[in-house]
Amino acid sequence: GKNEYDLLVIGGGSGGLACAKEAARFGRKVAVLDYVEPSPQGTKWGLGGTCVNVGCIPKKLMHQAALLGSAVKDAQHYGWNIAQPVHHTWSVMAQAVQNYVKSLNWGHRVQLQDKKVKYFNMKGRFSDPHTIHGLTKAGKETVVTAENIVIATGGRPKYPTHIAGALEYGITSDDLFWLKESPGKTLTPFVFNVSLECAGFLTGIGLDTTVMMRSIPLRGFDQQMASLVTEHMESYGTKFLKRCFPTKVEKLESNRLQVTWLNTDLGTEETDSFDTVMWAIGRDPDTETLNLETVGVKTNSETGKIIVDASEATSVPHIYAVGDITEGRPELTPTAIAAGKLLAQRLFGQSSELMDYDNVPTTVFTPLEYGCVGLSEEAAVQCYGSDNIEVYHAYYKPLEFTVAERDATQCYMKMVCLREREQRILGLHFIGPNAGEVTQGFALGIKCGATYPQLLKTIGIHPTCAEEITKLHITKRSGLDATVTGC
């Protein structure tokens, strides 16, 4: 018989909703399934996916809260008289952030309704390539059939289940943003951008925060930039336990947590107590309960992510996947949204445009932000050889830091270019305030194949931090001092 829907999307996050809404634009019959399995600590949330509820949005808002703490300090240098003490109340911030997120959940519900997309708050699993069994919280089952199915279930934070006490006593980013009470003295072991960003804003709002890293920070990112970012955090007040990894977590009588870890440098076991331990060791794709094996959707044996081709198609016809769940794609909201939209356009809108995953810009919202697009220096060297690339770089000082007497030691930028005549730009890296705003426009330029000479021809806007990018001229090769001096 006929399938009930033209398109069924499993997962109401960035990718899923974008795809569903785009398909609805073509007059198609679309349904979205979204369900949030509560975290081990019991946290759950509404429609919108990771980004809206436990990702980008609350993260940036709490990052902003921390930045405003710095602004309060700066303001005094600029003549604002503020009586001490100044302190931060977690619950005021958390409630404001949570209220905003809830308004977004509501907004998404309304949008789906407006676009006549059917919404099911159910957990879905495949029974055949066109049939999904959905289960509500109450246990009621509904069967839905669709011509095309898009899997966009995203990922959830991993727990280091091999560490005693990790699951029972630790939280993850899924819980942090929904805490009603301050997390207090916090430890975040392992170091992906999530943990650095969280550690950053927790420090910024005045909490005693420690980051524990086994090896390198921000794996996959340019390592020189990664160390500048962590260096800044250290001078900002975040504590770092380097080359350590936790071995067990126990609960004390006071309800605090005792963490034991191995210091691989000294070969000794150390211990300390914390109020909160937040794991940020990576995310697992949410595919376990989908029943993918039944329909034969292939996943990567190591990561568990769904394997897709350039058109987001899985190994099964009419079944697609977008977003964090797909193998080899950046785990970013804008790429999921773009991929979801383009997929809908190809399925229903006679388009043939594929998603371009090259030169996707991103920003790490640590206290001193890091924006980048294109290749890291290491990747460029690996790809082209160090003789064939030129790296232009500069240490600069944002004007606003002068009067505020802020340390700009880690404010740094570099541009990795091909050395041959045209000098095409391969990668751009910027650490400083508003890094996202700075990087976005240049990402466009790189998409247009920008070359170093073209950049030099661009006149700067004065006074900004971004203008320093158009003035880059000292190469790493020259060994000259790369500090920007005056106008």
Site for other proteins in 35-94 (CB under 8 A): 51, 56-57, 60-61, 64-65, 68-69, 71-72, 74-75, 77-94
Does the annotation flag 206 for ligand binding?
A: no
Kindly give the residue spans of alpha helices, DSSP state H, lying in 410-451: 435-447
**DSSP secondary-structure letter at 449?**
T
Please give the full DSSP string across 194-263, using - where no structure is assigned: HHHHHHHHHHHTT--EEEEESS-SSTTS-HHHHHHHHHHHHHHT-EEEETEEEEEEEE-TTS-EEEEEEE
Q: Give the interface segment with other proteins, choosing from 151-159, 183-191, 243-251, 429-437 (CB under 8 A).
A: 429-437
Give the nearest distance from C-beta 8 to other proteins in angstroms.
Answer: 26
* Contact between 172 and 155 (Cβ < 8 Å): no
> Which of 34, 468 has the CB closer to other proteins?
468
> Which of 133, 471 has the CB closer to other proteins?
471
Give the separation between CA 312 and CA 304, rounded to whole angstroms: 16
As annotated, the active-site residues are: 462
Cis, peptide link before residue 285, omega less than 30° from 0: no
Give the separation between CA 144 and CA 31, rounded to whole angstroms: 9
* Contact between 153 and 287 (Cβ < 8 Å): yes
> Which of 47, 342 has the CB closer to other proteins?
342
**Site map 266..295 versus other proteins, x via CB under 8 A:** ------------------------------
- Using CB under 8 A as the binding rule, whether residue 242 contacts other proteins is answered as no
Considering only residues 359 through 378, tell me which ones interact with other proteins, judged by CB under 8 A: 359-363, 371
Does the annotation flag 324 for ligand binding?
A: yes
- Using CB under 8 A as the binding rule, whether residue 310 contacts other proteins is answered as no
Q: Take residue 313 and report the two structure tokens written for it.
A: 């198609």
> Which of 61, 280 has the CB closer to other proteins?
61
- Max CA-CA distance within the chain? 74
- Using CB under 8 A as the binding rule, whether residue 333 contacts other proteins is answered as yes
- Using CB under 8 A as the binding rule, whether residue 338 contacts other proteins is answered as yes
Closest CA to 147 of 342, 326, 320, 337: 320
Give the nearest distance from C-beta 304 to other proteins in angstroms.
Answer: 25
Instruction: Identify the residue among 152, 191, 375, 443 touching other proteins (CB under 8 A).
Output: 443
Considering only residues 147 through 206, tell me which ones interact with other proteins, judged by CB under 8 A: 205
- Using CB under 8 A as the binding rule, whether residue 110 contacts other proteins is answered as no
Instruction: Identify the residue among 350, 457, 479, 481 touching other proteins (CB under 8 A).
Output: 457
Give the nearest distance from C-beta 177 to other proteins in angstroms.
Answer: 13
Contacts of 109 (CB under 8 A, 6+ apart): 46, 47, 119
Half-sphere exposure of residue 483: CA atoms within 13 angstroms, side-chain side: 7
Closest CA to 344 of 5, 2, 6, 3: 6
Using CB under 8 A, count the residues that bind other proteins.
Answer: 85
> Which of 10, 469 has the CB closer to other proteins?
469
460 residue type, one letter: G
C-alpha 24, offset from chain centre: 28
The strand pair at 257-263 and 268-274 is best described as antiparallel
Q: Give the interface segment with other proteins, choosing from 27-35, 265-273, 294-302, 462-470 (CB under 8 A).
A: 462-470
- Using CB under 8 A as the binding rule, whether residue 484 contacts other proteins is answered as no
- Using CB under 8 A as the binding rule, whether residue 479 contacts other proteins is answered as no
> Which of 172, 359 has the CB closer to other proteins?
359
Considering only residues 208 through 237, tell me which ones interact with other proteins, judged by CB under 8 A: none
Q: Which residues are annotated as a binding site for NAD(+)?
A: 282
Q: Which residues are annotated as a binding site for FAD?
A: 60, 124, 324
Q: Which residues are annotated as a binding site?
A: 60, 124, 282, 324
